[in-house]
Chain A
Amino acid sequence: MSEGLTWNVYDANTMTQADIYGEVLCQLGERDPKIVGLSADLAKSTKIGKFADKFPERFFNVGIAEQNLFGVAAGLAKAGLLPFVSTMAVFTTLRAAEQVRTDICYQNLSVKIIATHAGTSFGAAGTTHHCTEDLAVMRALANMTVIAPADGIETANAVKACVNYPGPVYIRIGRGFEPRCYENEDYGFEIGKSVLMHPGTDITLICCGVTVLQALEAAKYLKQNDGLSVRVLNMHTIKPLDAEAVLAAVRETRRIITFEDHNIQGGLGSAVADVIAASGKGCAFEKVGIPDCFCIVGYPEDLYSHYQFDTDGIIRKVKEVMGKDFEEDEDWEDEV
């Protein structure tokens, strides 16, 4: 995966996911002249503006017109180019949902969508700018690949990986700075393959995006203070989901909690639940995220804690689920 020093043009300790995305896209743009960039008056905020500064003739700002944005991207793809499109997640997946579905997914076009301000990362802006539905909507679109990177380093990996990945890809990132989970890019990132962040046999926490680091911290704490063995999976690809890792967690830990900065309806938790339900195996299961309401106003850190997917909330939740009366069944094979 290592691509040489030229890739490390960013500092994951200080740069936001979006900043890193912008840098990586510039690097990719140098190698591949077919890459074009598009935004809708959010070139600066989404950092695709870095690409715009470097390749002004290959960048198109369509104004504040998201439906048009994704239609134009579809046309560029049809014309043989490789469009990268960036605006806020809410305007991507809800305002322009039909363009993304019908113009891009239906025609199975290679359009790469890097949507920023996802989840509650623009918490102070209010509901119009929150996006806690995107995973659900994007997951329901045939041909679409859906990725929620855990930090800036993983954002770099995902953006690089999507270039040669077939069909449309949706990558959701946040707004501000999020602390890093990874030391460097060489941990074997692969679209559709979860990453084991912390081994464990008592319970599995399946996470994506900002919750990965929080869960990792929780797992370390619970090991040290409560002797609990908590497995943490970074399920950065929500679709196609790494079903094998989910099934292994069912089999080996029999307890699963999902954590996501998204409505608990339809996102990561629902995707995991589908796999568990279809397996026919018993498993204690809970979904944590935004509990099917419009998120309140506030800065992201406060919101993560309010909705219980910060480290403390995750610790509480693990203890709760561990304390639940759950019938352990030794004989896996006799379950339907």
Chain B
Amino acid sequence: MPITDQEIKELSAVARQLRKDIIDITYWAGGAHIGGAMSMAEMLVLLYYKYLNVDPKKPDWEERDRMVLSKGHGGVGYAPLLARKGYFEFDQLKEFNKFKSPFGMHLDGLKVKGVDVSTGSLGHGLPIAAGLALGARLQKKNWRTYCILGDGECNEGTNWEAAMTINHYKLTNLLTFVDRNKLMIDGTTEQIMGLEPFADKWKAFGFIVKEVNGHDFKELSAAIDFALSQNKAPVVIISHTIKGKGVDFMENEVKWHYGGLDTDSRDKAKQSVDRMYG
């Protein structure tokens, strides 16, 4: 269903809170993968607040849609989202990464409610998502699978092996996103290992490609609506984003892939987020 202005307003408020949560957890934990968590905020919020058929009170409900955060280092963004959705208490995240905590930087599906697949080693998510989608189809289930990849992650050959599988079996019950923030750890994606022409690669692998501004709920939502109506070919949404989005001193900065915040930089980061939302 096309997204309404009212929905956009509400989702923006959720995303604003999520960005602040990410900042707080980064501060509490002493460091986190904050840049890539900020870039995928809108994707996560839109999926969980508009599209995913899930029930936080029944995290193991068999008919739920499945979510695979293949860029598992985004755990610092995913965990607070799940907390705010009601999977567990937000305050537990004060223990993020601490001794005996259920929350490592990369979330463990056996310990964190709402996490369908334990990820963190890049290039594992899409094959698992393909298996989930095959499994749903085989058992005539209507639930869908969603997968979010990093763009640097797309260097891993397993993604392209999975892409062949997804196209071969025409897994249109799987929707793939790439967080195209153009940065990885050692530099930009194009400096380190060129991905372009990126959309053409996916097309050559049999995907329908939608390129959107990944911070724009309207564009993202239209692309998802399109994908959900498709049953001929699998769809990938290349979501053009800004790493560190919302925190001015982090935006597009390679070094903010992973970093820590003191009280001063934490407060400045939050002020910047407030400015983003005007």
Q: Which residues of A contact B (CB under 8 A)?
A: 39-45, 49, 61-65, 67-68, 90-91, 95, 124-129, 296-299, 302-303, 306
**A263: shortest Cβ distance to chain B, in Å?**
17
Query: Which residue of B97, B153, B157 is within 8 Å of A297 (Cβ)?
Result: B97
Q: Are A63 and B155 in contact (CB under 8 A)?
A: yes
* Docked pose: A43 CA to B254 CA in angstroms: 13
Q: A64-B155, A126-B107, A128-B72 are in contact. Are A41 and B97 (CB under 8 A)?
A: no
Residues in A whose Cβ lies below 8 Å from that of B105: 124-126, 129
* Docked pose: A63 CA to B118 CA in angstroms: 23
22 contacts between A and B (CB under 8 A): A40-B155, A41-B192, A45-B185, A61-B192, A63-B193, A64-B123, A65-B193, A125-B104, A125-B105, A126-B108, A127-B120, A128-B121, A129-B106, A129-B120, A296-B100, A297-B100, A298-B99, A298-B100, A299-B98, A299-B99, A302-B99, A306-B100
Residues in A whose Cβ lies below 8 Å from that of B101: 297-298
Q: Are B104 and A124 in contact (CB under 8 A)?
A: yes
* Docked pose: A77 CA to B270 CA in angstroms: 50
Q: Which residue of B lies closest to A62 (CB)?
A: B193
- Tell me the B18-54 residues at the A interface (CB within 8 Å): 29
B80 within 8 A of A: no
Q: Are A41 and B108 in contact (CB under 8 A)?
A: no
Q: Which residue of B lies closest to A40 (CB)?
A: B155
**B149: shortest Cβ distance to chain A, in Å?**
11
* Docked pose: A63 CA to B156 CA in angstroms: 8
**B85: shortest Cβ distance to chain A, in Å?**
21
* Docked pose: A44 CA to B187 CA in angstroms: 10
B122 within 8 A of A: yes
* Docked pose: A302 CA to B101 CA in angstroms: 12
**B70: shortest Cβ distance to chain A, in Å?**
12
Query: Which residue of A44, A65, A68, A91 is within 8 Å of B121 (Cβ)?
Result: A91
B184 within 8 A of A: yes
**B191: shortest Cβ distance to chain A, in Å?**
9
Q: Which residue of A lies closest to B152 (CB)?
A: A64
Q: Are A41 and B104 in contact (CB under 8 A)?
A: no
As a 0/1 sequence over residues 208 to 235 of chain B, the CB contacts with chain A under 8 angstroms (1 = contact) are 0000000000000000000000000000
Residues in B whose Cβ lies below 8 Å from that of A125: 97, 104-106, 120
Q: Which residue of A lies closest to B184 (CB)?
A: A41
Residues in B whose Cβ lies below 8 Å from that of A128: 72, 106, 118-121
Q: Are B193 and A61 in contact (CB under 8 A)?
A: yes
How many chain-B residues does the 8 Å CB contact rule pick out? 31
Q: Which residue of A lies closest to B158 (CB)?
A: A67
B78 within 8 A of A: no
Residues in A whose Cβ lies below 8 Å from that of B103: 297
The 5 closest A-B pairs by CB, nearest first: A126-B104, A63-B193, A128-B120, A63-B155, A298-B99
Other A-B contacts than A41-B184, A63-B155, A126-B108, 5 sampled, CB-CB below 8 A, are A40-B155, A64-B193, A125-B106, A126-B105, A129-B106
B186 within 8 A of A: yes
Q: Are A42 and B100 in contact (CB under 8 A)?
A: no
Residues in A whose Cβ lies below 8 Å from that of B75: 126
Q: A44-B186, A45-B185 are in contact. Are A127 and B99 (CB under 8 A)?
A: no
Q: Which residue of A lies closest to B153 (CB)?
A: A64
As a 0/1 sequence over residues 101 to 133 of chain B, the CB contacts with chain A under 8 angstroms (1 = contact) are 111111110000000001111110000000000
* Docked pose: A63 CA to B103 CA in angstroms: 28
Q: Which residue of B lies closest to A88 (CB)?
A: B121
* Docked pose: A91 CA to B123 CA in angstroms: 11
Residues in B whose Cβ lies below 8 Å from that of A61: 186, 192-193
Q: Are A126 and B99 in contact (CB under 8 A)?
A: no
Q: A45-B185, A64-B122 are in contact. Are A127 and B156 (CB under 8 A)?
A: no
Q: Are A41 and B186 in contact (CB under 8 A)?
A: yes
Q: Which residue of B lies closest to A90 (CB)?
A: B121
Residues in B whose Cβ lies below 8 Å from that of A127: 104, 106, 108, 118, 120
Q: Are B192 and A67 in contact (CB under 8 A)?
A: no
Q: Are B157 and A43 in contact (CB under 8 A)?
A: no
**A90: shortest Cβ distance to chain B, in Å?**
7
* Docked pose: A43 CA to B257 CA in angstroms: 14
Among B99, B152, B192, find the residue whose CB has the most chain A CB atoms closer than 10 A.
B99
Residues in B whose Cβ lies below 8 Å from that of A91: 121
Residues in B whose Cβ lies below 8 Å from that of A45: 185
Q: Which residue of A lies closest to B191 (CB)?
A: A61
Residues in A whose Cβ lies below 8 Å from that of B106: 125-129
* Docked pose: A42 CA to B98 CA in angstroms: 24
Q: Which residue of A lies closest to B96 (CB)?
A: A124
Residues in B whose Cβ lies below 8 Å from that of A124: 29, 97-98, 104-105
